[in-house]
Chain A
Amino acid sequence: DARVTQTPRDKVTEMGQEVTMRCQPILGHNTVFWYRQTMMQGLELLAYFRNRAPLDDSGMPKDRFSAEMPDATLATLKIQPSEPRDSAVYFCASGSYEQYFGPGTRLTVT
């Protein structure tokens, strides 16, 4: 049963520290998405890649967030420096027409 995997599942860090989240998409899926879920804003699209090329990152704060896809089996989302307002659950999803979500990384910035 193919699944999207994400690491770490939970991350607690102090303000100002760098945070890296990783995602392994389902093999064969050509599109990878990053979403953020908070109580206030709900689910928001941050960025996505198609065939490893960035297509849209307009939902991402450019000054501190960066997303990359170094190869077809790995997508990364980095926050540097992290701030308390970045506390959220970050989801990776992969697919073509429909999207399959990973379990998420719960980030807490103190």
Chain B
Amino acid sequence: AQSVTQLDSQVPVFEEAPVELRCNYSSSVSVYLFWYVQYPNQGLQLLLKYLSGSTLVKGINGFEAEFNKSQTSFHLRKPSVHISDTAEYFCAVSDPYSGGGADGLTFGKGTHLIIQP
């Protein structure tokens, strides 16, 4: 079974500072990787995904992530955060499905990003 580790449960950052949220996964075979954001009392919104190709993926709201196969990591970064980025961020992994598409997601425990003015 796959597992996802988000090393920080909470990350406080000053507004306009850069941030990195760390994510490591357990699988050594091909995987699909995702970052989702959850605002209070809302569902999960897809920030970005890695399926194949370039290891640097760009997403919405100025976020990007880098897939590192040798370190089994998929860290999320933003060069300058805003108060509106305060939310819970989840890293997730799924297996490619042989018939096309993906299987269910395995999530990390989440990282609460707190933006301080």
Cβ of A1 under 8 Å from chain B:
no
Residues of B within 8 A of A42 (CB): 107-110
Cβ of A25 under 8 Å from chain B:
no
Task: From the candidates A35, A56, A100, A104, name the one contacting B103 in the complex (CB within 8 A).
Answer: A56
Cβ of A11 under 8 Å from chain B:
no
Cβ of B102 under 8 Å from chain A:
yes
Interface residues on B, range: 20 to 34
CB-contacts of B68-117 with A (<8 A): 90, 92, 97, 99-110
* Inter-chain contact A99/B105, CB cutoff 8 Å: yes
Residues of A within 8 A of B36 (CB): 101
Question: Beyond the given A43-B44, A98-B49, A101-B45, could you list 8 further A-B residue pairs with CB under 8 A, ordered by the A residue number?
Answer: A43-B90, A93-B44, A95-B102, A99-B34, A101-B44, A102-B43, A104-B42, A104-B43
Cβ of B46 under 8 Å from chain A:
yes
What's the least CB distance linking A95 to chain B, in Å? Answer: 8
CA distance A102 to B109 in the complex (A): 19
